[in-house]
Structure 1
Amino acid sequence: MIKARWWVIGGAAGIVVVAAGLWLWQSAVRSSTPEEATLDYLHALESGDADTVVASGVVVSTIALDAFEAATGLIDDGEVIRVRDDGDGVSATAEVSFDLDGETHTTQLTLGIIEGRWSVDATGLGTLVAESTIGSDVAIGDTTVPTGRAVSLLPATYTVAAAPTTMLEGENPVQVLPGAKATTAVDAAVRPEATAAAQAQLDEILEACTAAGTEVPDGCGIRIPWGTEFREVDIIRYRIDESPVITLTPSGFIAEGGTLVATVTGTGQNGEALTTTYRTVSWNLRGDVAFTADDLVLSPW
């Protein structure tokens, strides 16, 4: 009897476990109502947590999720005013309200059934087009996006900064609202760190410019008046006594004050071997500068 009783109890417990697991599985896959799905999305936005947003079922890009983690203002007091079934059983429209930066907003979100449950569709996102007076990109936190290109973002307030932020300064706050297009233009300026980075890059360019060779390289600001003395040049060797110092503008650069020594070996106009050394104390370069998402690029003329 005792053994039989234990078997019965154990069997009942197994049935309970199986039933509980089945209930949890059904709960996980069953469709929520459009109102519940809308509230889930609003609460996810209020949380400021990207994983919670993903769990709400909305389809959103990695860029948008990364930017959301750096949002400087989140929606609050999200409410569902009313929900209308669109009549086809697979779509609905929800009218919602929420606060952002002390202002109350109302809008409509559409929903569909995604992977067996109701979820807010792309109307839950807004778009941002950002411009900058300097550079090809802007930054939202650690995320960069190209200027002039519409990018979908989650509703929130963002600080849009000139990129790269280590080299440029200037930023604007901007609200991104569901179903709306936001625009902003950042008035950027060059940081001192950009000049230091540009000088380091210029020094690398000058090293390549002054590699030994038989011709004067283009785009290096080097002028050697050897034509009147040499019939042929066998080798030109360079020595940098002082590098030109760079100054940046938003779109270009000038490097001035360099001292360069060039020793030319070859055949003189009289047909004899000749070696002559030239020295300039006004070695200057000019060129363009472009700021990318995370660096700058010098292009000497």
Structure 2
Amino acid sequence: MKRAAVIGIAIAGAIVVVGGGLAWWALSRGQSAEDAANSYLAALADGDLATITAMRAPLPERQQEILEEAFLGASAYLADPRVEGLDEQPDGVVDVRASAELAGERRDLRFGIEADGSGWILSGDDTGTLSVDVATADGAALGWVTVGGAVVPATTPVALLPAEYVVAAAPVDFLEGSADVAIGTGTPVSISLTAALAPGASDRAQEQVDAYADACAQPATSAPSHCGIVVPWAADLASLERISFRIEQYPAVTLAADARSFDATGGVLVATAQGTTRDGAAASFTYRADDWALRGTVALEGDRVVLSVH
């Protein structure tokens, strides 16, 4: 009797689950065009990316990633969205006229939906387009910006879902210069940013220079190249066996205003050369440089800063 009861309960549970699935399928099929449009607008207002993604065809891979990352990092979503009208076309597409509060004003939104046999999906272009130019005050063009939570190439138009976004020169901890932009549907938006070095830019560059200096100061059998190091051991030794280094002060970084190059100067480096003198005796000599310097270029690659020493 107990075994039969357990089986009976399991079967009843299965019926409930299947019945629930059928009810959901029937509900989605029975949704009106206006209901579907309201569902999409509500998802935009709630930042509900999962619902939005389920209703629209994906963009090519990287474009889709940018759209999603940007939307998840948006500074504000639609407020008080409303369906203003529906226009059914001969091909079955329903053009939706809607409006919502965005950046403090009521804006028109346009998108299309169509039935696909199991529900409603977006049809046509439901996004806005943003292009951003970014340069330093002296006109030097820069290559990257952040839009919401996405890092994108400057000057390249990107598709975005309706929302408000903070657009900033990238990397954001190396450069400053930003603007707020509201993206709707329809007319493409273009903005220009003027960027400058952020207060912490030199600190970020200094970390790389310090790491590079540490690599230069490893024990070696000759003076390392591309390190700004000259050890005059030949004045005292006939042959060199080993040089060891001690950094007393790292070269201090100064970045160019256009964020394209750097000078690191004022370093103090002590080198000890070991070898054999001209009379055949083992000896060591110590040399000190109070003007150790490293110079090179800066490359900004997305959210990365890469320093290269000449």
Instruction: Place the TM-score, normalised by the shorter chain, in its bin.
Output: 0.7 to 0.9
State the distance in 2 between where 1:37 and 1:100 align.
Answer: 21
Partner of 2:298: 289
Partner SS for 1:88? coil
Task: Write the deviation string for residues 71-110 of structure 1: whole angstroms up to 9, x where unpaired.
Answer: 3343344344443333233x33333334422444335323
Match of 1:153 in 2: 160
Tell me, yes or no, if structure 1 residue 58 matches structure 2 residue 56: yes
**Alignment match of 2:71 (pick from 68, 72, 84):** 68
Partner of 2:4: none
Distance 1:22 1:217 in 2: 70
CA distance in 2, matches of 1:251, 1:19: 63
Give yes or no for the alignment of 1:264 onto 2:264: no
Please state whether the residue corresponding to 2:167 is helix, strand or coil: strand
Match of 2:135 in 1: 133
Cα offset, 1:66, TM superposition: 3.8
The alpha-carbon deviation at position 287 of structure 1 amounts to 1.1
Question: Which secondary structure does the structure 2 equivalent of 1:41 belong to?
Answer: helix
Which consecutive unaligned segments of at least 5 residues does structure 1 have? 1-12
8 Å Cα contact 2:71-2:149 kept in structure 1: no
TM superposition score normalised by structure 1: 0.78
Classify 1:217/1:132 alpha carbon distance in 2 versus 1 (closer, same or farther; 3 Å). farther
Residue number among 121, 124, 135 corresponding to 2:123 in the alignment: 121
CA RMSD of aligned residues (A): 3.4
Structure 2 length-normalised TM = 0.76
Distance in 2 of aligned mates of 1:43 and 1:121:
17
Q: Distance in 1 between matches of 2:30 and 2:65?
A: 25
Is the CA contact (8 Å cut-off) linking 1:34 and 1:119 kept in structure 2? Answer: no
Displacement of 1:258: 1.1
Of all paired residues, the percent bearing the same amino acid is 35
Give SS of 2:67's match.
helix
The equivalent of 2:81 in structure 1 is 78
Distance in 2, matches of 1:227 and 1:18, equals 87
Give the aligned partner of residue 239 of structure 1. Answer: 246
Q: Any unmatched runs of 5+ in structure 2?
A: 1-11, 59-63, 137-141
Q: Distance in 2 between matches of 1:297 and 1:173?
A: 28
State how far apart, in whole Å, the 1-side matches of 2:172 and 2:213 are.
27
Against the structure 1 CA distance between its residues 233 and 113, is the aligned structure 2 distance closer, same or farther, given a 3 Å change threshold?
A: farther
Query: Does the aligned pair in 2 maintain the 1:256–1:285 contact within 8 Å?
Result: yes
User: Which residue in 2 is equivalent to 1:214?
Assistant: 221
